[in-house]
C-alpha cells in the first residue's frame, strides 16, 4: 500500500512537471507588453511549436545592417536554410545596438540606434493592445484583452505568403530590394479578381484568374496549391505544385528577386528548399530579366544567360546599351538579328504598328529618335519601335521575330583621314640649341612645380578627412540600402560652398565619384527626430518616375536633402520660358502627364505604407537628360506636421495633378484663372482654343479630349466624385474611358449662391 501511494505521488509530481513545462511553453509564445529584442543580445520570440521565430538578422555582405524578420525555426531545418518569411518595414535596416519592442502602449517599434529614431511602427498605440503572440503558422498578431486580433503580420506581407495567408485586393508582394531592378517587381491582386506579376506598375508579364470577379484573395493552401477564392471560400482558380497532396511539413510562396513567383517545399531527405511550381516557366519571359545587361537566351545547360549583341567595339561589361545616334555623321545602317525579340525598358512603352518587315525597318532608319525595331508575324504583322538606348529582350531559335538595331556606318569609309603633310614636307632644318635658356627654363619650371605641390599638399591636408569619408560613401553607394548621412561641412564640400544655385534653396553638387546631385535646403527649425523619420521613409522608396533621395544632413540647425540630379531642370521653367517651351512638344507633355500620374499612383498604392506628395506642381517635376519626368520633394508634408486623413491627402494630390495637366495643355501656370474659361471652351466644342499657342499643329484631338476630361474630373469641387490616381492613370493610358465631367466649380458656385442669399436675407 505504501509503495502504491509512493507511486501515485510520484506520478502526480511528474504530471505537474509536464503540465508546468507545457504551460511554460505557451507563456513563451505570448509576448507581454514591454518585451524587447535587441541586436546585441541576439534574442528572439518563438512560436509555441518552435517552427517560427522573430528576431534580428543580417546578410554576410552587409554585416553592420540588421533587419527584424520572422523566419523558420524548426530543428529539422538547418540554420542556413531557415528562410525569412516576413520583415518589419520591408527593406528597413538598422545599425548596431538597435532594438525591436512591444511598448507599454501596445505599439511594435523598430528603433535605430544609429539614427536615434523609430524607423518603423505598427501604429497600434491607440488600439488597446494587451499582448502579442507569434502563432504556430508564422503570423505575428497583436491582441486586446478579449483576445481579438488588432493587428497581424499576415495583413502586411513583404515578399512571401505562408499557408493560410491571404493576399487580398490591393495588397502587394514586392521582391526583396537586393538591387534597384528587383525592387520594381511586384505581385498584385487587383479589384477585378486578377493576380498579376508586374514590373513597375505598368507592365504586366503574367496574370491568373478572369477579370470578372471582385473581392477575391490569393491563398496558399497547406496541400501545395495556390488558389483565388471569394469571401465565402468559393474557389475560382487554382494551380498545383509538383508535390500537391504529398506530406510536406513546410511550404511558402515567394516573389523572388528575378521577378518570378515560385512555390517552395521543404525536402526532409535532401535538406533543401525545392521549387515545385513557378509562374513564368521561361525565365526570359520575365520582363527586364537582363535589365541593362543585354538580352536573355539559354545556354547549352538550359540556364538563362544575358548576352550583348549590340556592341561592335570593346565596351564596358556593366551595361549593354544600343549605340547613340547623335553625331552619326556618316549615316546609319540597320543590323539584323534573327529570332530575337526586343523591347525598351527606360521608358517601357514602345510604339507598335501593323506593317510589313521592310516598312518596319525603313520607319526606324528614317526616324532620328529610333534606336531599334522588332518585327513579329505570329498572326498579325506587328512592328515595335524603340526610342531609347535601354533595350532588352530575349532570343530563341523558335521565335518568329526579327529585330533591327540602328548603328552608325563605318566612319573610316565615309570620312577618311589623310595625313596633312608628306614625310618630305615634315622634315625640318636643324637649329642651334641655347643651353643657358634651357637651364633657366628648367629651373623656373622646377620652382613653380614645388610651389604648386606644396599648395596642393596643404589643401589636401585640410580636406583629407572630409574627402576620405565622402570617398568611402561613394564607394559604398552601389547596392546600398542606406541613405548617405552628411555633415554640414560635407554639404558645403559637395556644393562648392553653395556656388551653383539651380533653384530656390536648391544647389547643384557632385559626389566624389563625379555623380551630380541636387541639394535642397530646408528650414532649420524642423525637429531632428521628425526629420530623420521622414527622410528614412522617403529614402526607402524607388520608382523610375520619382527623383531618388540619396542622402541628407541633420546637424544642429542645418537641414538638407540630397537628390539625384536631373540634367534639364524643372518643368516650371519650360512652361514659363517661350524659347524652352518649344521643346515641350504635345507628345512630350502627354508623356510627362502619364509619367507623373504613375509616380503619384505608386506613392498612393504601391509603397508598403501610403504616402502622399502634398505639394505637386510644375516646380517639383524635373526632367532628366532623356527629358523623362521625375517627381521630387514627395512626402515632405511629414516634416511640417501636416496631418490629414489618407483620403484627404490622396484627393489633394489628385487635384494638384489635374492642375498640372491643365497647365501642360494650356501653358498657363495659374489654373484658377483659366479653369472657368477652359471648361466653357470645351463645353462649346472648341477644346483646341485651350491648347498652348506655342504648340505647333501636332495636337492629337483624342488625347486632348482625354486630357481635358481627366483634368476637369480631378478638379471637381465635390470630393466624392474625384477619381483615384489609379483611375487617372488608366484614363491617360487609354484603358479606361472618361465620361463627360460636370462643371468642376459647380459646388463652389452653389456655396457662393447660398452665402450670397443668406447675406442678402440678413440685410432684409
CATH of the domain at 701: 1.10.510.10
Please name the helix (run of DSSP H) or strand (run of DSSP E) that holds residue 428, with its range, or none.
none
**Same domain? 643 vs 743:** yes
Residue 477 binned pLDDT confidence (cut-offs 50, 70, 90):
very low
Percent of the chain with pLDDT over 90: 43
Residue 258: which residues within 8 A CB-CB, separation 6 or more? 182, 283, 286, 289
> Is residue 202 over pLDDT 70?
yes
Residue 75 lies in a domain: yes
Q: Please, is 342 exposed, middle or buried when counting C-beta atoms within 10 Å of its C-beta (0-12, 13-18, 19+)?
A: buried
Query: Using an 8 Å Cβ cutoff, are 218 and 228 in contact?
Result: yes
Around Cβ 512, how many Cβ atoms within 10 Å? 17
pLDDT at 415: 35
Mean pLDDT, residues 11-18: 38
Cα separation of 550 and 560, whole Å?
11
Half-sphere exposure of 385 (CA within 13 A, CB side): 20
Among 156-165, 342-351, 413-422, 546-555, the range with the most confident prediction by mean pLDDT is: 156-165
Confidence of residue 435 (pLDDT cuts 50, 70, 90): low
CB contact at 8 A, 140 and 54? yes
The answer to whether residue 299 sits within a structural domain is: yes
Tell the burial category of 427 from Cβ atoms under 10 Å away from its Cβ (0-12, 13-18, 19+). Answer: exposed
Question: Which of 259-268, 290-299, 538-547 reaches the highest mean pLDDT?
Answer: 259-268
- Is residue 91 pLDDT above 80, yes or no? no
CATH code, domain carrying 382: 3.50.4.10
Q: What is the DSSP string of 588-636?
A: HHHHHHHHHHHHHHHHHHTSSS----S--SGGGEEE-TT--EEE-STTG
CB 711 within 8 A of CB 665: yes
Q: What was the pLDDT predicted at 437? A: 55
As to burial, measured by CB atoms within 10 angstroms (0-12 exposed, 13-18 middle, 19+ buried), residue 304 is: middle
Among residues 264, 265, 263, 262, which one has the least CA distance to residue 247?
265
C-alpha–C-alpha distance, residues 714 and 706, integer Å: 12
pLDDT tier, 440 (very low <50, low <70, confident <90, very high otherwise): low
Q: Are 534 and 577 within one domain?
A: no
Smallest CA-to-CA distance from 639 within 545, 552, 564, 724 is with 552
Distance CA 66, CA 36 (A): 15
Most distant CA atoms of the chain, gap in Å = 134
Give yes or no for residue 108 having a pLDDT over 80.
yes
Question: What pLDDT is recorded for position 461?
Answer: 47
Arithmetic mean of pLDDT over the chain: 81
Is residue 753 very low, low, confident or very high in pLDDT (cuts 50, 70, 90)?
very low
More confident residue, 347 or 443: 347
The residue among 356, 387, 408 that closes a domain is 408
Instruction: Write down how long the chain is.
Output: 764
In this structure, the strands spanning 484-486 and 549-555 are parallel
d(CA 675, CA 749): 13
Same domain, yes or no, for 397 and 534? no
Classify burial at 670, counting beta carbons within 10 Å of its beta carbon; exposed 0-12, middle 13-18, buried 19 or more. Answer: exposed
User: Which residue, 116, 94, 124, 95, is CA-closest to 530?
Assistant: 116
Residue 271 has pLDDT above 90, yes or no: yes
- CA proximity to 494, closest of 475, 520, 476: 520
Average pLDDT score over residue span 294-303? 85
> Within 630-715, where are the H helices?
646-666, 675-683, 701-714
H or E stretch covering 161:
strand 160-161
Q: Do 577 and 705 fall within a single domain?
A: yes
Spatial separation of the C-alpha atoms in residues 580 and 577, rounded to whole Å: 5
The pLDDT tens digits for 699-737 are 988 899 999 999 999 999 888 788 889 889 989 988 888
Q: 539 and 524 in contact (C-beta within 8 Å)?
A: no
Band of pLDDT at residue 434, cut at 50, 70 and 90: low
Structural domain count, the chain: 4
- Residue 208 has phi, psi (to 5 degrees) of -135, 145
- List alpha helices for 104-206, DSSP H: none
**643 pLDDT higher than 60:** no
Q: How far apart are CA 559 and CA 488, in angstroms?
A: 9
- Residue 89 falls within a domain, yes or no? yes
Identify whether residues 608 and 739 lie together within a single domain.
yes
Q: Which residues contact 499 (CB under 8 A, 6 or more apart)?
A: 507
Whether residues 141 and 79 fall in one domain? yes
- Rounded CA-CA distance 699/693 in Å is 11
Cα distances (Å, whole numbers) of residue 649 to 486, 505, 611, 653, 719: 31, 26, 9, 7, 11
The dihedral of CA 610, 615, 620, 626: what is its sign? positive
Whether residue 365 is contained in a domain is answered as yes
Whether residue 192 has pLDDT greater than 60: yes
Average pLDDT over residues 669-682: 87
Domain presence at residue 457: no
**Which helix H or strand E contains 341, and what residues bound it?**
strand 340-344
User: Which pLDDT belongs to residue 733?
Assistant: 86
| Strand positions, DSSP E, 221-292 | 225-229, 235-240, 251-255, 261-267, 272-278
DSSP-assigned letter for residue 461: H
Please check whether residues 587 and 530 belong to one and the same domain: no
Of residues 555, 534, 547, the one with CA closest to residue 490: 555
Question: What value does the mean pLDDT take over residues 494-505?
Answer: 89
> Are 101 and 146 found together in one domain?
yes
| Domain presence at residue 337 | yes
Where on the phi/psi map is residue 273: left (φ > 0), alpha (ψ -120 to 50), or beta? beta
CATH number of residue 108's parent domain: 2.90.10.10
Write the pLDDT tens digit of every residue in 16-74: 333 333 333 333 479 999 999 999 898 999 999 999 999 999 887 778 889 999 999 99
**Each residue's pLDDT tens digit, 456-475:** 655 554 444 444 444 444 43
Q: Which of 164-168, 198-202, 663-667 has the lowest mean pLDDT?
A: 198-202
Residue 685: CB atoms within 10 Å: 8
In sequence order, what are the residues at sequence separation of 6 or more whose Cβ sits closer than 8 angstroms to the Cβ of residue 253? 160, 161, 220, 226, 261, 262, 263, 264
Domain C-terminal end among 408, 423, 457: 408
pLDDT bracket for residue 450 (50, 70, 90): low
Which of 507, 538, 565 is the last residue before a domain boundary?
Answer: 565
Beta strands 251-255 and 261-267 are antiparallel
Judge if 595 and 549 occupy the same domain. Answer: no
Of 622, 600, 619, 620, the residue nearest 611 (C-alpha): 600
pLDDT digits (tens, 9 = 90+) for 575-600: 888 888 888 999 999 999 999 999 99
Q: Which residues pair with 152 in a beta bridge?
A: 141
Percent of the chain with pLDDT over 70: 80
Q: Which domain holds residue 593?
A: 571-751
Looking at residue 570, the DSSP 8-state letter turns out to be B
Q: Which helix (H) or strand (E) holds 439?
A: helix 435-476
Average pLDDT over residues 202-206: 89
Q: Bigger pLDDT: 584 or 513?
A: 584
Q: Which tens digits make up the pLDDT trace of 370-407?
A: 999 999 987 778 999 999 888 999 998 888 899 999 98
Q: Which residue has the higher pLDDT, 697 or 651?
A: 651
Asked if residue 541 and residue 612 are part of one domain, the reply reads no
Q: Please report which confidence band the pLDDT of residue 428 belongs to, taking 50, 70 and 90 as the band edges.
A: very low
418 pLDDT band (50/70/90 cuts)?
very low
Angle formed at CA 465 by CA 459 and CA 470, multiple of 5 degrees: 105
What ranges make up the beta strands (E) of 467-615?
484-486, 501-503, 506-510, 516-522, 549-555, 558-564
Question: Does residue 81 have a cis bond before it (omega within 30 degrees)?
Answer: no
Highest average pLDDT, of 248-257, 499-508, 512-521, 677-686, comes from: 248-257
Rg (CA), the chain: 32
Task: Count CB neighbours of 550 within 10 A.
Answer: 21
**Which of 496, 499, 518, 493 has its CA nearest to residue 508?**
518
| One domain, residues 99 and 136 | yes
Long-range contacts of 349-354 (CB under 8 A, 24+ apart): 349/202, 350/384, 350/385, 350/386, 350/387, 351/384, 351/385, 351/387, 352/382, 352/383, 352/384, 352/385, 353/382, 353/383, 353/385, 354/380, 354/381, 354/382, 354/383
Give the whole-angstrom CA distance, residue 503 versus residue 671: 22
Residue 623 has pLDDT above 90, yes or no: yes
Does any domain span residue 12? no
Work out the number of other CB atoms within 10 angstroms of the CB of residue 34. 9
319 within a domain of the structure (yes/no): no
Return the SS3 of 495: helix
Residue 195 neighbours by CB under 8 Å, 6+ apart: 167, 187, 188, 189, 207, 208, 209, 218, 228
pLDDT reading at 645 higher than 50: yes
Highest mean pLDDT among 326-330, 566-570, 608-612: 566-570
Lowest mean pLDDT segment, chosen from 16-25, 250-259, 674-683? 16-25
- Residues 596, 724, single domain; the answer is yes
Amino acid at each position: 500500500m505504501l509503495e502504491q501511494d509512493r507511486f501515485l505521488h510520484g506520478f502526480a509530481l511528474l504530471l505537474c512537471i509536464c503540465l508546468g513545462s507545457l504551460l511554460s511553453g505557451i507563456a513563451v509564445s505570448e509576448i507581454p507588453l514591454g518585451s524587447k529584442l535587441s541586436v546585441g543580445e541576439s534574442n528572439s520570440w518563438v512560436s509555441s511549436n518552435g517552427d517560427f521565430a522573430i528576431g534580428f538578422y543580417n546578410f554576410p555582405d552587409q554585416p553592420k545592417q540588421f533587419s527584424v524578420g520572422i523566419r523558420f525555426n524548426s530543428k529539422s531545418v538547418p540554420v542556413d536554410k531557415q528562410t525569412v518569411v516576413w520583415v518589419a518595414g520591408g527593406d528597413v535596416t538598422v545599425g548596431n545596438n538597435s532594438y525591436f519592442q512591444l511598448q507599454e502602449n501596445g505599439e511594435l517599434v523598430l528603433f535605430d540606434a544609429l539614427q536615434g529614431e523609430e524607423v518603423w511602427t505598427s501604429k497600434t498605440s491607440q488600439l488597446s493592445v494587451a499582448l502579442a503572440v507569434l502563432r504556430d503558422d508564422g503570423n505575428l498578431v497583436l491582441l486586446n484583452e478579449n483576445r481579438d486580433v488588432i493587428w497581424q503580420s499576415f495583413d502586411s506581407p513583404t515578399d512571401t505568403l505562408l499557408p493560410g495567408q491571404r493576399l487580398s485586393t490591393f495588397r502587394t508582394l514586392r521582391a526583396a530590394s537586393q538591387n534597384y531592378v528587383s525592387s520594381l517587381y511586384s505581385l498584385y491582386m487587383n479589384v477585378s479578381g486578377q493576380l498579376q506579376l508586374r514590373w513597375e506598375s505598368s507592365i504586366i508579364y503574367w496574370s491568373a484568374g478572369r477579370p470578372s470577379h471582385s473581392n477575391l484573395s490569393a491563398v496558399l493552401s497547406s496541400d501545395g496549391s495556390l488558389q483565388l477564392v471569394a469571401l465565402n471560400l468559393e474557389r475560382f482558380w487554382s494551380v498545383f505544385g509538383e508535390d500537391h497532396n504529398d506530406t510536406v511539413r513546410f511550404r511558402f510562396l515567394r516573389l523572388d528577386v528575378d521577378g518570378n513567383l515560385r512555390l517552395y517545399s521543404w525536402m526532409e531527405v535532401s535538406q533543401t528548399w525545392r521549387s515545385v511550381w513557378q509562374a513564368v516557366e521561361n525565365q526570359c519571359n520575365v520582363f527586364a530579366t537582363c535589365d541593362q545587361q543585354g538580352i536573355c537566351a539559354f545556354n547549352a545547360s538550359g540556364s538563362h544567360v544575358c548576352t550583348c549583341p549590340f556592341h561592335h567595339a570593346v565596351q564596358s561589361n556593366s551595361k549593354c546599351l544600343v549605340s547613340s545616334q547623335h553625331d552619326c555623321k556618316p549615316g546609319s545602317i540597320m543590323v539584323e538579328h534573327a529570332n530575337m525579340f526586343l523591347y525598351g525598358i527606360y521608358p517601357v512603352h514602345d510604339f507598335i504598328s501593323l506593317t510589313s518587315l521592310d516598312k518596319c525597318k525603313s520607319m526606324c532608319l528614317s526616324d532620328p529618335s529610333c534606336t531599334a525595331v522588332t518585327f513579329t508575324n505570329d498572326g498579325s504583322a506587328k512592328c515595335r519601335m524603340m526610342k531609347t538606348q535601354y533595350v532588352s529582350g530575349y532570343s530563341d531559335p523558335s521565335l518568329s521575330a526579327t529585330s533591327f538595331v540602328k548603328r552608325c556606318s563605318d566612319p573610316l569609309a565615309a570620312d577618311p583621314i589623310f595625313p596633312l603633310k608628306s614625310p618630305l614636307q615634315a622634315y625640318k632644318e636643324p637649329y642651334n640649341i641655347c643651353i643657358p635658356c634651357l637651364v633657366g627654363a628648367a629651373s623656373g619650371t622646377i620652382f613653380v612645380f614645388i610651389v604648386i605641390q606644396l599648395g596642393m599638399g596643404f589643401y589636401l591636408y585640410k580636406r583629407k578627412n572630409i574627402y576620405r569619408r565622402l570617398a568611402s560613401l561613394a564607394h559604398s553607394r552601389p547596392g546600398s540600402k542606406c541613405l548617405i548621412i552628411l555633415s554640414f561641412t560635407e554639404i558645403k564640400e559637395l556644393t562648392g560652398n553653395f556656388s551653383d544655385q539651380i533653384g530656390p534653396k536648391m544647389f547643384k553638387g557632385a559626389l566624389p565619384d563625379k555623380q551630380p546631385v541636387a541639394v535642397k535646403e530646408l528650414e532649420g527649425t524642423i525637429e531632428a527626430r521628425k526629420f530623420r523619420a521622414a527622410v528614412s521613409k522617403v529614402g526607402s522608396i524607388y520608382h523610375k518616375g520619382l527623383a531618388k533621395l540619396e542622402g541628407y544632413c541633420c546637424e544642429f540647425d542645418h537641414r538638407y536633402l540630397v537628390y539625384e540630379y536631373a540634367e534639364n531642370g524643372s518643368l516650371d521653367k519650360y512652361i514659363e520660358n517661350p524659347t524652352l517651351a518649344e521643346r515641350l512638344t504635345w507628345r512630350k507633355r502627354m508623356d510627362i502627364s502619364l509619367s507623373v500620374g504613375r509616380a503619384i499612383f505608386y506613392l498612393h498604392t504601391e509603397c508598403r505604407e501610403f504616402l502622399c506628395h502634398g505639394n505637386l506642381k510644375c516646380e517639383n517635376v524635373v526632367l532628366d537628360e532623356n527629358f523623362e519626368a521625375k517627381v521630387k520633394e514627395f512626402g515632405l508634408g511629414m516634416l511640417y506636421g501636416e496631418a490629414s486623413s489618407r483620403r484627404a491627402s490622396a484627393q489633394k494630390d489628385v487635384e494638384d495633378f489635374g492642375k498640372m495637366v491643365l497647365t501642360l495643355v494650356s501653358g498657363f501656370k495659374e489654373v484658377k484663372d483659366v479653369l472657368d474659361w477652359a471648361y466653357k471652351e470645351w463645353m462649346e466644342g472648341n477644346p483646341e482654343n485651350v491648347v498652348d499657342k506655342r504648340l505647333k499643329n501636332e495636337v492629337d484631338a483624342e488625347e486632348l479630349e482625354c486630357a481635358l476630361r481627366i483634368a476637369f474630373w480631378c478638379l471637381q469641387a465635390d470630393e466624392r466624385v474625384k477619381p483615384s490616381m489609379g483611375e487617372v492613370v488608366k484614363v491617360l493610358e487609354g484603358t479606361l474611358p472618361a465620361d463627360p465631367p460636370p462643371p468642376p466649380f459647380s459646388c463652389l458656385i452653389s456655396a457662393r449662391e447660398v452665402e450670397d442669399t443668406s447675406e442678402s436675407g440678413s440685410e432684409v
